[in-house]
Amino acid sequence: MKNFLSDIFSYSKDNNHRKFKILWFKFSFRNSSSLKYEKNIQDNYNLDNIKNAKNLAVFFIPDKKYINGGILSIYSICKFTREICPDIECVICTIPGKYTYSHNPYFQNNEKIYRWEQIVHNIQNVHKVILHVPEYFAAKFYKSLKNSEKNFLKSIPDLQINILNQNIELMPAQKKLNNLYKLTKNVTQTIGHDRYASSEICKKWTITSHFLSVCIEQENSEQKKYSFSKKKKVIVLSPDKHPMREKIVKVLKREMPDFKIVTVQDLKYSDYLDLISAAYFTITFGEGFDAYFNQPLNTGSVSFAVYNDEFFPDKSWKELYNVYSSYQEMKEKITTDMKNLLANPSKYNEVIIKAEEKRAKLYSKEKFINNLRNFYNKKYNIHK
């Protein structure tokens, strides 16, 4: 009876949500006490930095606490903007709306997170404002503003809205961005992936564009590397949904019965890094050329992905041992490939080195900082 009831009804809660499952329906409600607590922390901020700012950069993040590559990237852009543009006051802010929080505890950082009303109500001496808006929210940004906020933004002498295009599949259609031009004519986009940093993309959205790349720093205290012999019999899966996911997992369970299969979910960044480093293998079901493919390589583990034209830099990546041309090929070959690597540690390390060398030709911290500096100097590197 107990197992039957748990199948049709369940309840759980954390600091932010209450979660119910009734039959196959799932419900999640924000904890009002948690929201009040977060706002109380924000209300105790000293806001002189905003009141006195002449140049301000606002980096918008989702209104829910979690971690992914996009959020880490936004934090990195903010951090390095401070370093190369000391005259710009940089703040991280939850997207306009009811929900907010004061700090993201899922990775090591010292950032205060503001809510939008704190910023817009305390700007007093500003001349230039740059709003960095994530692509998924770009079409919703204008409608999320109160009329008074729209009028205020229009009154700023130098207002720039920059869309952080980190996932082209989340980028709204060009016509859905027209409302942004009601606030300012200075609308730009920075692009995170080398694959779609092209003049064609610039023309498609008719937006001034700049290839920024990505630089997600991993603090030394959060980095761990396990030698081949010290690794655990674990296969890590990205949380992404895909039609072939269950079929591939079924093959893994059948052919690799002594391996534990773990899906990344609700982990602190340091715990996530430790997990992918300790595991022999990681599989991404997401973009392919994403953090679940690249970060395990950083920590000395083999990751597997399926090639796609949207995110991988070019077709030569299909030549790598750990990149398949289709999910069907992954399903047919992955367990054999894993067993071959487990029997040959030198081959295992060779797979990591080849992928890392290939990626190093495209991405580096130095290139990222130089691109970021050029963005603020309006030296855009993509032209129509």
Give kind and range of the element (H or E) at residue 222: none
Domain assignment present for 43? yes
Q: What was the pLDDT predicted at 36?
A: 92
Q: Cβ atoms within 10 A of the Cβ of 138, count?
A: 24
Q: What was the pLDDT predicted at 240?
A: 92
Residues 6+ apart with CB under 8 A from 7: none
Q: Do residue 174 and residue 246 come from a single domain?
A: no
Per-residue pLDDT for the chain (384 aa), expressed as one digit of tens each? 445 445 455 555 555 555 554 444 444 445 667 899 999 999 999 999 999 999 999 999 999 998 888 898 999 999 999 999 999 999 999 999 999 999 999 888 999 999 999 999 999 999 999 999 999 999 999 999 999 999 999 999 999 999 999 888 889 999 999 999 999 999 999 988 777 777 787 788 889 999 887 776 554 444 678 999 999 999 999 999 999 999 999 999 999 999 999 999 888 888 889 999 999 999 999 988 888 998 898 889 999 999 998 888 889 999 999 999 999 999 999 999 999 999 999 999 999 999 988 888 777 788 899 999 999 999 998 876
Q: What was the pLDDT predicted at 56?
A: 98
Domain assignment present for 384? no
Q: Do residue 307 and residue 371 come from a single domain?
A: no
Q: Do residue 151 and residue 280 come from a single domain?
A: no
- Count Cβ neighbours within 10 Å for each residue of 284-323 and write b for 16 or more, e otherwise: bbbbbbbbbbbbbbbbbbbbbbbbeeebbbeeebeebbbb
Domain assignment present for 383? no
Q: What was the pLDDT predicted at 236?
A: 96
Domain assignment present for 381? no
Total tally of structural domains belonging to the chain: 3
Q: Which domain holds residue 242?
A: 220-360
Q: Do residue 256 and residue 280 come from a single domain?
A: yes
> Hey, what are 339's tokens?
């067993």
Q: Do residue 42 and residue 163 come from a single domain?
A: yes
Residues 6+ apart with CB under 8 A from 166: 69, 70, 73, 134, 135, 192, 193, 214
Q: Do residue 124 and residue 257 come from a single domain?
A: no
Q: Do residue 173 and residue 255 come from a single domain?
A: no
How far apart (Å, rounded) are the C-alpha atoms in residues 363 and 18?
41
At CB < 8 A and 24+ separation, what contacts does 293-296 make? 294/359, 295/216, 295/218, 296/236
Amino acid identity for residue 39 in this structure: K
Q: Do residue 198 and residue 80 come from a single domain?
A: yes
Domain assignment present for 121? yes
Q: Do residue 345 and residue 242 come from a single domain?
A: yes
Q: Do residue 195 and residue 116 come from a single domain?
A: yes
Termini Cα distance of the chain:
65
